[in-house]
Structure 1
């Protein structure tokens, strides 16, 4: 009976971490996936992990509640840091929309329920399809699996106030904005040059209505540049996935005290 209690206690802790991870991580946390499917996926994934991770000796005492709270915090943190990195795509789309003139028109993202820029939503969907095609979702599951090696189930203390952890989060935000700038810079720079050319034309040919000609010209040029630079965009998206895995691994090492 005591052995059965230990097994159930360990399985509940694994299930709590995986379920919390699915709440915030990209792809698995989207509202387009029914909640019943997410719970079922988390349950069977936890069942598989139960036979592969090291199970410590656990007791149903006052410290078990702290372990459950710790597992919730760990799962949410690992998924959140991956979501922060992936938000670089929508940030890049926001920069592009502002330069194209699409900033006044936002769409509701069906995956998160929040408003997002038009180009940001388009680039984000393309990136998710690319992520699924290269089995990037397997890498996300792999990340939560290896978290049990760095953060044991019986570890109670989580150093959320540690300076090293705060520096890691700041570096993650910094990386997100740098990658967003790299993604948007070719298009934004090209549209800026078009603005300069239109300004020169407006001064030399005052009879031409630049406000009527400029908007369609910028939109057409932006779509052409987007087609030309799509390969570069995918290269940066691949770098984004790599940065997300490094950010998750670094966070797990800091929490686990490695």
Structure 2
């Protein structure tokens, strides 16, 4: 079977969009997954998608124009992956706030999914969110979003990134507020503990409040975290499903 220039051009455009999504989306972008498996997934799914998505009638004859089209498709994939990854970023932000308030930010361990160091509560929040993301088939939702994008934004169609970028910024700010709300119980309790230590320091100056805080605050934070963790599941599932719904709507803002 001999592939034509048109077929190869279509394949690489689809490959570029799907690669952008895999590079940055949750679960698919984890460093613990084999790179060869990611490339194989992108390759075979791109071949399958070729037969079911709307295709342009012609392809650019200029290499420069085609390279620019590849860049646009890669950008669309990155936007889809980044939007889905906002879920994890918001949850990790909430965990980072918890660790900072509890004094656990210095007790960092290696996160094998990203290859970076992360604090304890942040890591627990991240693993919990990944587990729930897979349980509710969030990875299937991301794949569905990339498939739907070819109907909303066909290959070769002009794209306006300005309106969609503003929508994406507003969505990101809303998700980071969710991360702040997730950390709010621990922030509030640690504030009460710090306030109590301030009173204790005035009443009994011989007590080393600074050293006592290193022992009390992490313990209190972990107890509060374990107490509220059963409610995290429902909240995180709601956040993930909401973002997946917004993901398809986001693509409509880029259509000219």
Query: Could you state the TM-score of these two structures normalised by the residue count of structure 1?
Result: 0.89
Please give the secondary structure, in 2, of the residue aligned with 1:255: coil
Q: 4+ residue runs of structure 1 moved beyond 6 angstroms? A: none
**1:2 shift after superposition:** 10
| In structure 1, C-alpha distance between the alignment counterparts of 2:136 and 2:155, rounded to whole Å | 31
Contact 2:136 2:237 in 1 (8 A): no
Q: Distance in 2 between matches of 1:142 and 1:129?
A: 19
| Mapped contact 1:82–1:247 kept (Cα < 8 A) | no
Question: Which stretch shifts more, 92-101 or 243-252?
Answer: 243-252
- Residue 79 of structure 1 and its aligned partner are, at CA, apart by 0.9
Q: Residue 35 of structure 2 corresponds to which residue in structure 1? A: 35
Matched, 1:133 2:135: yes
Q: Which runs of 5+ in 2 are unaligned?
A: none
Partner of 2:159: 158
Instruction: Tell me: CA distance 1:175–1:27, structure 2 relative to 1, closer, same or farther (3 Å).
Output: same
Match of 1:223 in 2: 222
Q: How does 1:198-217 map to 2 (within 5 A)?
A: 198-217=197-216
Which deviates more from structure 2 when the two are superposed, residues 18-27 or residues 213-222? 213-222
Distance in structure 2 (CA, Å) of the matches to 1:247 and 1:111: 26
Partner in structure 1 of residue 49 of structure 2: 49
| 1:167-218: CA deviation from partner (whole Å, max 9, x where unpaired) | 2132022112201111100111111112222222332233433233332222
1:93 and 2:95 are equivalent in the alignment: yes
TM-score computed with the length of structure 2 as normaliser: 0.89
Q: Following TM superposition, by how much is the alpha carbon of 1:92 offset from its aligned partner in structure 2, in angstroms?
A: 0.8
1:221 Cα deviation from its structure 2 partner: 1.5
Residue 19 of structure 1 aligns with which residue?
Answer: 19
Stretch of structure 1 that moved more, 99-108 or 142-151: 99-108
Instruction: Give the aligned partner of residue 142 of structure 1.
Output: 144
> Does the 8 Å contact 1:85/1:176 carry over to 2?
yes
Any idea what SS the aligned residue of 1:116 has?
strand
Shift of 1:226: 0.9
CA distance, structure 2, for counterparts of residue 198 and residue 92 of structure 1: 24
Q: Is the 8 A contact 2:94 2:183 kept in 1?
A: yes
CA RMSD for the aligned pairs?
2.2
Give the stretch that moved more between structures: 49-58 or 189-198: 49-58
Question: In the alignment, is the contact (CA less than 8 A) between 1:20 and 1:75 conserved in 2?
Answer: yes
3-state SS of 1:53 partner: coil
Assess if the C-alpha contact under 8 Å between 1:31 and 1:111 holds in 2.
yes
Range moving further from structure 2, 188-197 or 208-217: 208-217
Partner of 2:124: 122
Query: Quick one: distance in 1 between partners of 2:107 and 2:213?
Result: 18
